[in-house]
Amino acid sequence: MTTPITWVDAFSDAAFGGNPAAVCLLNQPMSDDHMQSIAAELGISETAFVTPTNDPSAFDLRWFSPAIEIDLCGHATLASAHVVRQSGVVDGAGPLTFHTRSGPLIASFEGDLIVLDFPADPITESPLPASLAGEWETSTVVTTGHTAFYAFVVVDSALLVRAYRPNLAAVSATSRKALLLTAPAEPGSGADYVLRVFAPNVGIDEDPATGSAQCSAGPYWAATLGRPELTAHQVSPRGAVLWVRVDGHRVHIAGHATSVLTGHLC
């Protein structure tokens, strides 16, 4: 029996935007080496592997970048929920539970939107990593910090985020797997904050749309702006729109998903 695979552009309501993810609907578990080889062959930021459980609304979910298995991935979770509904495995009337390395994650459907319920991952303030010294003028850096995954840098202008040309060697030399760069959005843009994510240490020079980054950026901007409901623009070359709601220790991340192609693994 062959394995269905769907290429999905997550956090985009049209093809060729947002962040591409491949979603494989497995009939039975697949070996780690085989999953890693598929992800490396596809070469996109994440490939998701979805396996059914005895509960028709619950699935095992694993994510692989081209280089390693990932602990938490928002866009490929959103893409997985989209594919499970689109393929008719579920009707979308109720929420789905994905069992992952980061614990159970909930996805629900609000019309065309898919809403993820993820754990908050607030930043801890800390000095800018030494390898990133000189990447921005000191006067433009508002806050620096970290999570287990991210080096977190807030600058004072969305233009700086858009114009940034990363020194990937410097990003790789931090003690974190990725750099999350963020700033307040431009007035009138329809967003509250902008961000970009660079993750060469997991095989992704720039991640086009990063749901899990909102687990850190969302709580920061909710506290800074004084309100829990926010709109984020990820200003990568592909671009993405994410709607974020911070609720205590949880962050709800909503977005669209668009299938680009479907097929079967040989």
**What percent of the residues of the chain are helix, what percent strand, and what percent coil, each to the nearest 5?**
20, 40, 35
Contact 106, 250 (CB under 8 A): no
Contact yes or no for 194/235 (Cβ under 8 A): yes
Return the beta strands (E) in the chain as ranges.
3-10, 19-25, 46-52, 58-64, 69-70, 96-100, 103-110, 113-119, 124-125, 141-146, 150-155, 178-184, 193-199, 204-207, 229-234, 240-247, 250-255, 257-265
Phi-psi domain of 226 (left: phi exceeds 0; alpha: psi -120 through 50; beta: other) = left
> Which residues, 6+ apart, have CB-to-CB distance to 17 below 8 Å?
9, 11, 238, 239, 240, 258
Catalytic residue among 46, 110, 125, 137: 46
Residue 46 designated active-site: yes
**What is the DSSP-derived secondary structure letter of residue 165?**
-
**E strand or H helix that includes residue 161:** helix 158-163
Provide CB contacts within 8 A for 198, sequence distance 6+: 166, 168, 171, 178, 179, 181, 204, 205, 206, 207
CB 220 within 8 A of CB 210: no
54, β-bridge pairs: none
Catalytic (active-site) positions: 46
